[in-house]
């Protein structure tokens, strides 16, 4: 039973930020939803996919974010309400289309929801989508809590229809993946019919063809829309102020930073000295509202995450209003009170406030802190990121690494984004030597593979996950085949978008809502393009190594598909392939010439080194029974027995 759909209007529910966003979309009567999985955004589409049948929604995991935006825009052009969801990197991918769309405009309400990851808690960068709102000249809304996450989405649809353009609602990890209380509103009951009107004049925004032409005219019309937006923002009840009439310091913030700021003010007990202006409408800023509050204090602190986006925009307004509001002393990122990298928290804000206002912050007793530090140094050994027990990637990189070592020509592996990014760390035997955007491993390999004329003779390997293969690898792969780049591509096919929670992708016969879909076969596709293709199971290291060595001998583009389902896959979970055990009579531990190969090098979390008896053991709680360690033990001490 899902409260998302069944929860009655007026009732209160504990929702994840992403669920609140999904509920907001339902209350707005969304019809079409598209996106690509990416932490911390994925649960929005998952939540809506689950209720799609009951609500007559169209929900899809698109092949990538650009296509997701196009699919969502089609819904809008046909008069429906549509939403497009992705993590911050996705906006980069979709931005080519988005720049056209922002000038073209929309019809049915269209909302773009990027979820940024300040601090890169589960990302390979901490880039921000906020800058796109300014660059594309579209309105930007930022929810400060869970209730707003729902309510702003609903308002964004109304705003989008009012100005006939796409509206961005930006979330962050600490809202998307946090949970809080949300009071539900009504769900609409509307019958809608999709129809794309295109018979009108090219200048007619409601009846004509959808295009950015003539560009300068339509760009001007887009900027007129922003004036309407500012008028709405000036009076929006989502912008709030709390604090004294004439505070010593005006703190301007939005997003999750509002909660941190509120808490920091409370921690220091400076409620009567600091005014807290929370903005939900962060671009374009409403100048009259800003004037009203900037007038009240001489000192201004802007609290936000990563780059000073809000701070700079506030400063532009303050410069324009200088004659009316007087000069201000600004605190924040440019001045140095707050860091420009990593995520924000109450402690950072409290430290800034304590410095600006010269108040001491009450800390833990010094003696306690010192003792805790001393004890935890011994008591809390660090936990490096690792592939899960039984992860096929560990097996794949074990073999790729060893094969390249054996080859002896200093070959290397280019990678990209996925769980397999961890292969740049010891858990993947430091096998990856480049790590960039999705698909970039193949693009880089394509380039490396053309450098023979400059004497380069190192074997070049690129790895790519199955979902990433469809998302971003195909153009690079085609480029490499077309130019006869001499490289080996390894597709790490674990049957799903595993890192973000097993979302479907075009290689699977199922779609986001669980309906049957047409699966595109990686092997056939690569063969049709002219690549030499082999398939192996990473849990068969001997066969895989021989296949790789054979492929290295062939000129041109080779593809090796390593097929093995993710250890955490819902289809595989809790099903052991093998009962694995260490034969204590055979494992002679440190007396063996292997030098603890299984625990020291392979180091699957399912293995343990028994300090007392100096032998390896299997941790039966952690081991998932893949049997890989049995294949690598040189003494044959690790035994695997097939589970019936």
Partner 1 sequence: MQQVNLPYDPYNVIITGVGGQGNVMASRILGNMLSRKGLSVTIGETFGASQRGGSVMSHLRISAVSSWSPQIPKGQGHLVISLEPTEAMRVLVNYGNPAIKVLCNTRSIHAIGVISGEQQYPDLADIKAWVAELSEAAWFMDATEKAMELGNPILGNIMMIGAAAAIGVLPLDREDFEAAIAENLSLDKQELNLKAFNLGVGMVK
Residues 226-265 that bind partner 1 (CB under 8 A): 256, 259-260, 262-264
What are the φ and ψ backbone dihedral angles of 414, each rounded to 5 degrees? Answer: -100, 140
Query: Per CB under 8 A, does 342 bind partner 1?
Result: no
CB 235 → partner 1: shortest distance, Å? 25
CB of 277 to partner 1, least distance (A): 17
CA distance 87 to 460: 30
Stretch touching partner 1 by CB under 8 A, among 101-109, 273-281, 379-387, 581-589: 379-387
**Least spacing, CB of residue 561 vs partner 1, in Å:** 23
By beta-carbon proximity to partner 1, the closer residue of 20 and 531 is: 20
Out of 145, 466, 486, 493, which residue is the one contacting partner 1 (CB under 8 A)?
A: 145
DSSP 380: -
Draw the binding track, 558-597, toward partner 1 (x: CB under 8 A; -: no contact).
----------x---------------------------x-
**H, E, C per residue of 269-304:** CCCCCEEEEECCEEECCCHHHHHHHHCCCCEEEEEC
Examine residue 212 and tell whether it contacts partner 1 (CB under 8 A).
no
Asked if 14 touches partner 1 (CB under 8 A), the answer is yes
Backbone angles phi, psi at 300, to 5 degrees: -130, 130
Pick the closer one to partner 1 by CB: 387 or 398: 387
- Site stretch for partner 1 (CB under 8 A), options 72-80, 369-377, 434-442, 632-640: 369-377
Told to check if 380 binds partner 1 by CB under 8 A, we report yes
How many other C-beta atoms are found inside a 10 Å radius of the C-beta of residue 246?
A: 11
Write down the least CB distance from residue 304 to partner 1, Å. 14
Binding-site member from 8, 54, 125, 181 for partner 1 (CB under 8 A) = 181
How distant is the alpha carbon of residue 612 from its chain centre? 43
- 198 is a site residue for partner 1 (CB under 8 A): no
Q: Measure the CA–CA gap between 148 and 185, rounded to whole angstroms.
A: 12
CB of 618 to partner 1, least distance (A): 12
3-state DSSP of 499-548: HHCCECCCCCCECCCCCECCCCCHHHHHHHCCCEEEEECCCCHHHHHHHH
- Give the nearer residue to partner 1 in terms of CB position, either 284 or 589: 589
Specify whether the CB–CB gap between 468 and 497 falls below 8 A. no
* 438 binds partner 1, rule: CB under 8 A: no
One symbol per residue from 263 to 302: x for binding partner 1 (CB under 8 A), - otherwise; what is it?
A: xx--x-----------------------------------
Residue with smaller CB distance to partner 1, 156 or 178:
178
Beta strand 274-278 with 240-242 is: antiparallel
Q: Which window, 190-198, 236-244, 366-374, 541-549, contacts partner 1 (CB under 8 A)? A: 366-374
Residue 391 token pair: 């992860």
Among 50, 601, 635, 639, binds partner 1 (CB under 8 A): 601
Find residue 330's DSSP bridge partners.
300
Q: Which of residues 34-63 bind partner 1 (CB under 8 A)?
A: 39-40
In whole angstroms, what is the distance from residue 428 CA to residue 388 CA? 11
Site for partner 1 in 115-144 (CB under 8 A): 121-122
Residue appearing with tokens 């209350």: 27
Peptide bond into 531 cis (omega under 30): no
Kindly indicate which of the ranges 74-82, 127-135, 373-381, 458-466 contains the residues binding partner 1, using the contact rule CB under 8 A: 373-381
Distance CA 347, CA 261 (A): 9
Number of residues that bind partner 1 (CB under 8 A): 73
Q: Does 621 bind partner 1 (CB under 8 A)?
A: yes
Q: What is the distance between the alpha carbons of residues 218 and 198, in angstroms, rounded to a whole number? A: 17
Given 85, 270, 317, 350, the residue binding partner 1 (CB under 8 A):
350
Q: Is residue 179 a contact residue for partner 1 (CB under 8 A)?
A: yes
Residue 427 is a binding residue for partner 1 (CB under 8 A):
yes
Closest listed residue to residue 257, CA positions, set 186, 347, 325: 347
Residue 542: asked if its preceding bond is cis (omega within 30°), the reply is no
């Amino acid at each position: 039973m899902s409260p998302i759909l069944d929860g009655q209007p007026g009732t209160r529910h504990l929702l994840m930020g992403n669920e609140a966003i999904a509920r907001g979309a339902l209350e707005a009567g969304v019809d079409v939803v598209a996106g690509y999985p990416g932490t911390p955004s994925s649960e929005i589409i998952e939540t809506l996919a689950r209720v799609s049948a009951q609500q007559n929604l169209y929900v899809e995991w698109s092949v990538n974010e650009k296509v997701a935006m196009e699919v969502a825009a089609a819904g809008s052009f046909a008069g429906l309400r549509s939403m497009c969801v992705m993590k911050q990197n996705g906006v980069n991918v979709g931005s080519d289309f988005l720049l056209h769309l922002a000038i073209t405009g929309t019809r049915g309400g269209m909302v773009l929801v990027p979820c940024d990851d300040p601090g890169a808690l589960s990302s390979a960068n901490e880039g921000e989508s906020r800058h796109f709102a300014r660059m594309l000249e579209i309105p930007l809304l930022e929810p400060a809590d869970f209730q707003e996450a729902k309510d702003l989405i609903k308002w964004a649809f109304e705003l989008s229809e009012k100005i006939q353009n796409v509206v961005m609602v930006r979330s962050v990890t600490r809202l998307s993946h946090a949970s809080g209380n949300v009071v539900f509103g009504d769900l609409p009951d509307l019958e809608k019919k999709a129809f794309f009107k295109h018979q009108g004049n090219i200048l007619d925004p409601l009846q004509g063809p959808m295009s950015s032409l003539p560009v300068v005219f339509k760009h001007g019309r887009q900027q007129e829309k922003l004036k309407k937006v500012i008028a709405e923002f000036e009076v929006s009840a989502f912008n709030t102020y709390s604090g004294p009439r004439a505070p010593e310091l005006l703190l301007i913030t939005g997003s999750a930073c509002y909660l941190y700021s509120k808490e920091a003010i409370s921690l220091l007990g400076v409620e009567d000295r600091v005014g807290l202006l929370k903005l939900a409408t962060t671009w374009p800023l409403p100048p009259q509202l800003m004037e009203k509050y900037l007038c009240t204090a001489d000192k201004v602190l802007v609290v936000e995450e990563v780059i000073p986006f809000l701070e700079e925009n506030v400063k532009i307004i303050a410069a324009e209003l200088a004659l009316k509001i007087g000069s201000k002393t600004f605190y924040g990122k440019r001045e140095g009170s707050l860091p420009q990298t990593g995520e924000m928290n109450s402690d950072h804000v409290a430290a800034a406030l304590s410095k600006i206002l010269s108040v001491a912050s009450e800390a833990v007793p010094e003696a306690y802190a010192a003792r805790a530090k001393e004890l935890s140094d011994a008591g809390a050994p660090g936990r490096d990121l690792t592939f899960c027990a039984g992860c096929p990637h560990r097996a794949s990189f074990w073999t790729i690494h060893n094969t390249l070592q054996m080859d002896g020509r200093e070959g290397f592996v280019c990678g990209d984004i996925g769980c397999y990014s961890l292969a740049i760390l010891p858990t993947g035997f430091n096998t990856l030597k480049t790590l960039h955007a999705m698909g970039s491993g193949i693009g880089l390999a394509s380039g490396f593979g053309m450098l023979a004329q400059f004497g380069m003779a190192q074997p070049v390997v690129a790895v790519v996950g199955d979902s990433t293969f469809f998302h971003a690898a195909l153009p690079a792969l085609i480029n490499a085949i077309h130019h006869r780049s001499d490289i080996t591509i390894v597709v790490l096919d674990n049957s799903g978008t595993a890192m973000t929670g097993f979302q479907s992708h075009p290689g699977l016969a199922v779609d986001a809502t669980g309906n049957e879909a047409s699966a595109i076969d990686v092997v056939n596709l690569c063969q049709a393009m002219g690549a030499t293709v082999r398939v192996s199971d990473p849990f068969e290291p001997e066969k895989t190594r021989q296949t790789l060595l054979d492929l290295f001998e062939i000129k041109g583009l080779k593809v090796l598909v390593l097929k093995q389902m993710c250890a955490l896959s819902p289809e595989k979970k809790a099903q052991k392939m093998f009962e694995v055990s260490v034969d204590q009579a055979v494992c002679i531990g440190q007396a063996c010439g292997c030098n603890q190969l299984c625990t020291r090098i392979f180091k699957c979390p399912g293995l343990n080194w028994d300090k007392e008896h100096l032998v390896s053991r299997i941790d039966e709680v952690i081991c998932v029974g893949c049997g890989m360690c049995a294949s690598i033990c040189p003494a044959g001490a690790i035994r695997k027995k097939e589970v019936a």
